[in-house]
A = this chain, B = another copy of it.
Amino acid sequence: MIERLCVIGVGLIGGSLARAVREAGFCQEVVGAGRNPQNLQAAVDLGVIDRYETDLGKAVSGADMVLVSVPLGAMAAVFDAISGHLAEHAVLTDAGSAKGSVIDAARQAFAGLPASFVPGHPIAGTEQSGVEASFAGLYRGRRVILTPLPETDGHALDLVRDMWEAAGAEVTEMDPLHHDTVLAATSHLPHVLAYALVESLASLSDDGEVFDYAAGGFRDFTRIASSDPVMWRDICLANGDAIQLMIEHFVADLQELTTAIENRDGQQLLDIFSSAKAARDRYVKE
């Protein structure tokens, strides 16, 4: 329970958290902040935030908790802008999909990693974006990964955990590097593959003829290629090393499958497909 939460970047992620913690009574006031007054006014009108500031230094001053939920490419600039303006007791956290780059940016902006900074990542979202798409239930039953460092203050960590749990999330902790590897595997690589596939098929013909014969499986498979290109550019820039490793790992496995096709090796194809189906049926809940 805190008095004032400041959300920098009031879109789907920040807006949904604001809605959820207000609904849960976790804080008394939510101050929104960002560059776009129209968007912030819309957030006030929608009842997502109580008021807003476009000056980030002013926005964070007096806040007990600050959530930075801006695109990864904007993290460094936000940290620079709020550095020196946080209250002594303020806890700082973020919602970036890659953690190594955010931690580096914080370390640089604050001249060393602040003990009150708790890097975080809610595994939630839709292909939509913007505060209009936000809703209080976005985090219910979803995972939030916190990646505290040796420098991180235990009280700050507890408070961030409390906030996400108030929003209905299941909070786990992880080493930042491991987070970036796991997310490269389950999120960043699939997005890269979906974008590459759609782009590859689009280049087959000028009129998109092939897409006329796509069925439901294709629609599901490529849905994530309709995600925000700016967000995914930022993720690829921020977590490039881990993503590259995952692509290499994947291409090697794809090569094995391609060789089995080339050799018309029915048994190996059946083994690979059966093993993959078993893994998906076991681990992925529909």
Contacts and interface: CB of A to CB of B under 8 A. Distances in A.
A283 B244 contact: no
B244 A280 contact: no
A186 B213 CA distance: 7
A261 B243 contact: yes
Contacts of A225: 276-277, 280
B266 A196 contact: no
Interface string A249-278: 111011001101110101001101111110
Interface stretch (A33-41, A80-88, A228-236): A228-236
Interface of A: 73, 123-127, 142-143, 145, 182-183, 185-187, 189-204, 208-227, 229-230, 232-233, 236-237, 240, 243-244, 247, 249-251, 253-254, 257-258, 260-262, 264, 266, 269-270, 272-277, 279-286
A258 B264 contact: no
A211 B143 contact: no
B229 A277 contact: yes
Given A123-B214, A244-B262, 5 more contacts: A190-B218, A195-B257, A208-B279, A214-B284, A237-B266
